[in-house]
Structure 1
Amino acid sequence: MEHVFGGGIVSLNGEEWKILRRFFLQAFKDCGTTSSEAYHECLNATFEDLATSQGNPVDMTNIMLDRCSKIMRDTVFGHEGVTEDEIRDLNEAYGKILETLSSTKLFLFGKVAKKLFFPFLGGYNQSKIYRQKMLDVLHKNIAQHESRYDENNIRDLIDMYIKERKTRIQKRDPIAKHFTNDVLACTLLQLVGDGILSVAAYVNIFLQGLVEYPEEQEKVHDEIIDVIGPDRQTTIDDKNKLPYTNAFMYEVIRKSDFTPMLPSVECTTETTIRGYRIPKGAVTLPNYWAANHDPETYDDPDTFNPSRFLATPNKPRAELPVLFGVGKRACIGETFTTTQAFLFLTSIAQKFKLSKPSEPAGNDSVSLTPGHTYILVNSRKEGCEIDLS
C-alpha cells in the first residue's frame, strides 16, 4: 500500500497528517461532496437510462462509472478541472493498479519484503508505471490550477489547497511546508481512484442486494414510499428517517466481501488486547470479514437479516459492521461514499423493481474492478420491463 499510495495523506504520520487530514475533511464539505444537490443531475440521468432502455441490455457498471466520474469532476475538480479523457485515463490506470493488489499481498510489509519480494510479484513493476501515469496527469492539472489561480474565485479542491498554502506562507506559518504539490497529487491519486472505481462498485453491491433478497427489496421500497412518497427525490436528510433501509445497507456491508481486509496500520504505543500483547511498532492487518461474521457478535451470521440492526425495547441493535476503518485513521472519504450509495440505492428502489433475468450471462458479481451485473428492471409506475445488465 505504501508503494501505491505513499506520499499521500493515507501514509503520513504525526503533525503533517493531523494538519492535512483536518484540511481535506473541511475541503470535502466545502466542495459539496455531502450535499444532495450535487448528485441530482446524475440521479436523473440514471433514471432516464433505466426508463428508456426499452428492454435492451444496459451495463450498470458503465452507468455508475460514468455517474461517479461526473460527481468527482464536479465536486472535487470543478467544471474547469480534469477533462473526460483525463478522468478515463486515471480510471484505467487505477484499475490496473487494483488488479495487482490482493489480500494475501497485504501480509507482506517491511524492508525485507520491499527489497526481496515485491520486485518479483506479478504486476509490481507494472503498477509503478500506472501510478506514475496517474501522477503525471494530476501534476499537470495542479500546474494548470496554479497558472490560473485567482484568490477571489476559488473553483474547487485544488484551488482550496493552493489558497491554504499561500495564506499560511503570507502569515509565515511554518505549517505551510506541509502543503506541497507532491502530497496533493498523491492524495488525489487515491481520492480519484477510490472515489470513482471503488464507489461505483460499492453502489452496485446494494443494487445486487436488492436483487438477491426480493422480500427485503419490497420492505425497503415500502418504507421509502411511506416516508418520501413515489415522486419526491430523496435527499441525504432522509437518511435518518429510513431505519429499515439503513439496516438493509448495514447487512449488505456485513455480508459482503467488498473489502475483507483493511490496509495495515502500525501500533504507536504498546497495548494489550484480549490478553495479547501488541508491541509498539507492530504492524496489524484488520480482518473485517472475520469480524463481520463473528458468531459471538452476530447471531446466525450466515443469514441475511437486516432486522438485527433495528433496536427493539427488549434487544439493542447489533454492533454496526466495519468497512471504512475506525478512529482517527478511518477513511476520510467515508461520507462521500456513503452519501452516493444511499442516494442511488433509495432513488432507484423508489422508482424501479429489480430482479434476476431468467438467463443470466457473463459475470454477475460485483468487485473492486469493473464487472457486469445483470438485472431486470420494471418501472414501478408504468410496469414496463427493462433488461439491466
Structure 2
Amino acid sequence: MLITDGSLVAAIWAALHPRTLLLTAVTFLFLTNYLKNRRPKNHPPGPWRLPFVGNLFQLDLEQTHLVIQQFVKKYGNLISLDFGNIPSVVVTGLPLIKEAFTQMEQNFLKRPITPLRERVFKNNGLIMSNGQTWKEQRRFALMTLKNFGLGKKSLEQLIQEEALHLADAIGEEEGQPFDPHFKINNAVSNIICSITFGERFGYEDSQFQELLRLLDEATCLEATRMCLLYNVFPSIMKYLPGSHQTVFRNWEKLKLFVSRMMDSHRKDWNPVEPRDFIDSFLTEMAKHPDKTTSFNEENLICSTLDLFFAGTETTSTTLRWALLYMSVDSEVQEKVQAEIDRVIGHGRQPSTADRESMPYTNAVIHEVQRMGNIIPLNVPREVTADSTLAGFHLPKGTMVLTNLTALHRDPKEWATPDIFNPEHFLENGLFKKRESFLPFSMGKRACLGEQLARTELFIFFTVLMQKFTFKPPVNEKLSLKFRMGLTLSPVSYRLCAVPRL
C-alpha cells in the first residue's frame, strides 16, 4: 500500500510542469501581497496599485510632485499612494495640513525609516530619528547652536565675513560665464562647518570640494528608481549594481570624514572649553559613560552629518534659485539693487537689522522660496497610532507626505501662482507674512535651522546683489528647469556676475 501511495505521489509530481509550479508560486506571492497590503475600510482614495511596487511605475520620478497634483485633482485633498510596500497618503490644503500637524501632531511626529535610511543612519541623527533619540538630539542641537552664536551678533558677523569671501571668489570670474553651484555650496557650508567642526574651508580645498560633490550626488540619486526599488526589495537589491550602491558609498565616505574630524578633536579636546558642536557632544558623551542615552559615537557622526547636510543643501539650493531668477528677471533685480542702494549704500555690509527697512528684498527672498519649492512634499512623517483625518482612516505605520507644491501654487492664495512675483509678499509697500507659506514645515518637527537659514539667505543674497549684477551669458538662454532629488534644485547653469562698483 505504501509503495502504491509513493508511486502515486511520484506520478503526480512528474506530471506537474515546472511552469505550472512557477505560476502557482507567483500567484501565491501576489495573493499574499494583496492580502497583506490591501487598503482597509474607509481608506483615502487613490490610483490603482501593482503588487509589491505599488504606484512606483505610475510616478514620473523626474517630476513626482507634479504627477501627484493630477491625482489630487482626481481623488481629492487626501489621497493614498503606495511607494513600493510603503503605504502613504498625501495631505493637500492648509486646513488639512494644520489639522494633521497641530491638532493631531502627537500622532504624526514620527519619521518613517525606509530600508535605505536604515542602512545608512539607523535610528540616529537629527532628521530621521525617532523617540528618545530624536528628543535628546534635537534638544542638544538647538542648545549647542545657541551656545555657538545662533541668534547672536557673533554668528551674524561670521555669515557677513563668509559672504565677502563668496563675493571675492565670484569677483575672480571677472564677469565671465561661470557655474556658481559649488562656490555657493562652499560658502553656505562654511557657516555650519564653523559651528560643527570649528573651521571653514577654502573654495580651492580639493578635499572639501570632493565632499560637497559626494553630498550633491547622494542628494540627487536618492530619488532615483533604483533607490526606491531598494526600499521594496532590499535583500535582493543589495547584491545588484545601481545608483543605490553609489549612494551607500557616498554616505560612507561622508561619515568617514566626520569620524576623522571626531578623532582629531579628541586629541586636544578640553571639556571645560568646547570649541564647537563635536567638542560639546564629546563632553555630553563623557557625562554618560554607561551609554543609557543616545550620546554615543554613532549619533555624534550622524547628527553632525545631518547638520552638515541640512546646513549646506537647502540654503545653497535656494540661493542658486535666487541668482537664476534674478538673471532671468532683470527688472526685479534692479528693484532689489535700488532698495539696497537706498537703505545700505555701497560702503557697509548688510545686516539682519536692515531687513525691516527692505520689504522688497525680503519679499523677493520669500518668493524665491515659494517658486523654488525645494522640498515639494516636505520631509515625510509616519502615523504612530490609528487615526482619522478628513473622515478617512489612516492605519498606524502610514507614511504622510505634505503637498507643499499645491500649497505654494494654490490659485486661491496667490495672485499669479505660476509666475515669479514678489508682490505676493507685499501689501501697501510693506512686507506681508503669508499663512500658506511653509518652506520650513510646522510643529515640533519643523526645521530646527530655520532662524539660521533666514539669516544666511538675507545676508548672502543682499551682499551679492549689492556687489554684482547677474546676467545670462551672451547668446545663452537660462532655463528654469529643475533637477529632482531629495531637494528640487535648478539644472546646471552658467551666468555672468558683472561688478557694480
Short-chain TM bin = 0.7 to 0.9
| 1-structure distance, mates of 2:224, 2:351 | 35
TM-score w.r.t. length of structure 2: 0.66
Counterpart of 1:23 (choices 132, 140, 147) is 140
Give the corresponding residue for 1:87. Answer: 208
| 2-structure distance, mates of 1:81, 1:306 | 34
Contact 2:230–2:244 (8 Å) recurs in 1:
no
| 2-structure distance, mates of 1:81, 1:157 | 17
| 2-structure distance, mates of 1:185, 1:18 | 17
Contact 1:267–1:282 (8 Å) recurs in 2:
yes
Give the corresponding residue for 1:215. Answer: 331
Structure 1 stretch 210-219 or stretch 42-51: which is displaced more? 42-51
How far the C-alpha of 1:265 sits from its partner, in A, is 0.9
Contact 1:135–1:186 (8 Å) recurs in 2:
yes
| 2-structure distance, mates of 1:180, 1:300 | 50
Q: Deviations over 1:151-199 (max 9, x none)?
A: 2331111001112232455xxxx88621111011112223223333443
TM-score w.r.t. length of structure 1: 0.83
Give the corresponding residue for 1:262. Answer: 378
After the TM superposition, which residues 364-375 of structure 1 pair with which residues of structure 2 at under 5 Å, given as runs? 372-375=492-495
Amino acid at match of 1:147: K
| 2-structure distance, mates of 1:81, 1:155 | 17
Q: Deviations over 1:226-275 (max 9, x none)?
A: 32223220112323332222211121111124222223211234444434
Structure 1: gaps (5+ residues) = 382-389
Distance 1:168 1:227, change over 3 A: farther
How far the C-alpha of 1:42 sits from its partner, in A, is 2.0
After the TM superposition, which residues 56-205 of structure 1 pair with which residues of structure 2 at under 5 Å, given as runs? 56-79=176-199, 84=205, 86-102=207-223, 112-115=232-235, 122-167=242-287, 177-205=293-321
How far the C-alpha of 1:212 sits from its partner, in A, is 2.0
Give the corresponding residue for 1:387. Answer: none
How far the C-alpha of 1:105 sits from its partner, in A, is 7.8
Counterpart of 1:253 (choices 356, 361, 369) is 369
How many residue pairs get matched?
375
Amino acid at match of 1:322: L
Distance 1:283 1:117, change over 3 A: farther
CA RMSD between the two structures: 3.4
Contact 1:50–1:377 (8 Å) recurs in 2:
yes
Give the corresponding residue for 2:356. Answer: 240
Distance 1:65 1:276, change over 3 A: same
Amino acid at match of 2:215: Y
Could you say what secondary structure the match of 1:10 adopts? coil
Give the corresponding residue for 1:319. Answer: 435
| 2-structure distance, mates of 1:246, 1:104 | 38
Contact 1:248–1:306 (8 Å) recurs in 2:
yes
Structure 1 stretch 156-165 or stretch 131-140: which is displaced more? 131-140
| 2-structure distance, mates of 1:165, 1:121 | 38
After the TM superposition, which residues 283-298 of structure 1 pair with which residues of structure 2 at under 5 Å, given as runs? 283-298=399-414
Contact 2:255–2:305 (8 Å) recurs in 1:
yes
Radius of gyration: which is bigger? Answer: 2
| 1-structure distance, mates of 2:373, 2:227 | 16
Contact 2:227–2:244 (8 Å) recurs in 1:
no
2:158 corresponds to 1:38: yes
